Chain A
Amino acid sequence: MMRGEEDAVRMAATRFYDAIEAMVSGKGLEAMRDAWHHTDRVTSAHPIDDFTEGWEQVWATWKVFEPFGHPDRGGTSIKNLRVHLFGDVAYTTCMFYSAPAFGGERLACTNVLHKKDGVWKVVHHHADKAPKLAAALEKIASEM
């Protein structure tokens, strides 16, 4: 039972990082929307800026990134995804590698997931701060 739940958490976390790759590759945010529970009790801390709280505000931050996606800008990856399970709550840790177009940085990331209505989804995401990412985004924004 435990191994089955750990695998379910791993798949949910992987879907989250697949959604980031889809976003930076210009495929939109539908996968990212699906990766999260949509409640007031979700939080996020991107590689730039502070914590945001509540699904509407978290979603607004993801939509800031969306226009920067492009088929030539993909190339994210993760390594060492670890799952830590506590009943219907779990957290994952991994190293995330941002795409070269966005600074190519190596960031330690933590996600918290909650099993609600039988489905594991993200309720918190936290990434190391990434100055090169911010600089890359500003450069792209100035050239848009």
Chain B
Amino acid sequence: MIDVGDGANGFSVAFDRMTQTLQVAGWGFWSSEVAGKFAPAIASAFAKQMCAAVVFDLGRLAPMRDEGQEGWCRSLRLLVGRVRKVTIATGSTLTKLQLLRLSKQFDKELALQWVELDRGGMA
């Protein structure tokens, strides 16, 4: 399990061995420091195990500053050719709009599934 940030802004990365799924959660308005650690954390997780799928629980993530957007794109680039299924759950329309635009460039390479959550993310 990788935990970065704090209760106000951060993310976590964990691996579910039963489903071979990387579970990534993000919340708050990422500082530049937190944003800069996102893609390296995803890369580190992939270095340790094979994943069949990735689930991003971003139900409490606010629209990101430039560094967060760069980290998002870098993390999706890491997934290309490595996973079959990517699920992105959002709770904010603005965050979803931002991620939709950023993720468009990976439409052909990744099967992205979008899920809308009520505020608060997954239990």
Contacts and interface: CB of A to CB of B under 8 A. Distances in A.
Interface of A: 46, 48-50, 52, 54, 56-57, 59-61, 63-64, 67, 134, 137-138, 141-142, 144
Given A49-B92, A56-B29, A64 B100 contact: no
A134 B97 CA distance: 9
Contacts of B84: none
27 contacts: A48-B93, A49-B92, A49-B94, A50-B92, A52-B29, A52-B62, A54-B29, A56-B29, A56-B65, A57-B62, A57-B63, A61-B94, A63-B63, A64-B63, A64-B97, A64-B98, A134-B93, A137-B93, A138-B96, A138-B97, A138-B100, A141-B97, A141-B100, A141-B101, A142-B100, A144-B101, A144-B104
Task: Report the 7 A-B pairs with minimum CB-CB distance, sorted nearest first.
Answer: A141-B100, A48-B93, A60-B63, A57-B29, A64-B94, A49-B94, A64-B98
Contacts of A60: 29, 62-65
Interface residues of A, dominant DSSP: helix
A120 to B, nearest CB: 27
Contacts of A144: 101, 104
Nearest to B29: A57
A52 to B, nearest CB: 7
A50 B64 CA distance: 15
Contacts of B94: 46, 48-49, 61, 64
Contacts of A142: 100
Given A50-B92, A64-B97, A138-B93, 10 more contacts: A48-B94, A50-B119, A52-B29, A56-B29, A61-B63, A63-B63, A64-B98, A137-B93, A137-B97, A142-B100
A144 B99 CA distance: 13
Contacts of B97: 64, 137-138, 141
Question: Most chain-B Cβ atoms within 10 A of its Cβ — which of A57, A64, A141?
Answer: A64
Contacts of B96: 138
Contacts of B98: 64
A59 B100 CA distance: 19
Interface string B81-111: 0000000000011101110110010000000
